[in-house]
Structure formats: C-alpha cells, structure tokens
Amino acid sequence: MNYPIPANPQEIAALRQKPVNEELIVAAIAGVVQVARDKGQSLEELIAEVLADDTLLDRSQRRWLGEIVAQAWERLP
C-alpha cells in the first residue's frame, strides 16, 4: 500500500490533499478504525458516527459503507 495508516485525525484530514484512489480509501478507513479504537469507541459507535451526517450516500450505499467499516474493524490488528 502506498499510504501509511493514519494515526490521528490530522493525518486523516491530510489525506484530502491526495488524489482519490482505492488505496487512499483503504488507508482512510483503516485510520478511522484505529483512531476510534484509540478513543475507546465501540464498533457500533463508530458506524453511527461515520453514517451520522452523510447526505451523499443513499440507503444501500450507507449499508455498504457500514459493512466495510465493520470488516475493517474485525480484520485490523
């Protein structure tokens, strides 16, 4: 992977300056999961937060994103 996993919210925000591709999205999701774990959040809290203010995705896309976050949560060390 060309992008390291972000370790804090500032590093996640800095990804906005990069061209969007699959690797960037994977790094961003992994970073969000790691930051949430570091804050002591549960998976359910993280998914609720990720989907809370999303007006760009329809219902099926939101469900898909929640599933991707859950998979990342379970697979990351």
For residues 32 and 12, is the Cβ–Cβ distance under 8 A?
Answer: yes
CB atoms within 10 A of CB 28: 20
Q: What is the pLDDT of residue 4?
A: 86
CB atoms within 10 A of CB 4: 10
Extract the tokens encoding 12: 């996640």
Task: Report which of 37, 20, 45 is spatially closest to residue 76, judged by C-alpha positions.
Answer: 37
Distance set, CA 39 to CA 16, 26, 36, 73 (Å)? 22, 20, 5, 14
Q: What is the pLDDT of residue 1?
A: 61
Per-residue pLDDT of 3-59, as tens digits, reads 788 999 999 999 999 999 999 999 999 999 999 999 999 999 999 998 886 678 888
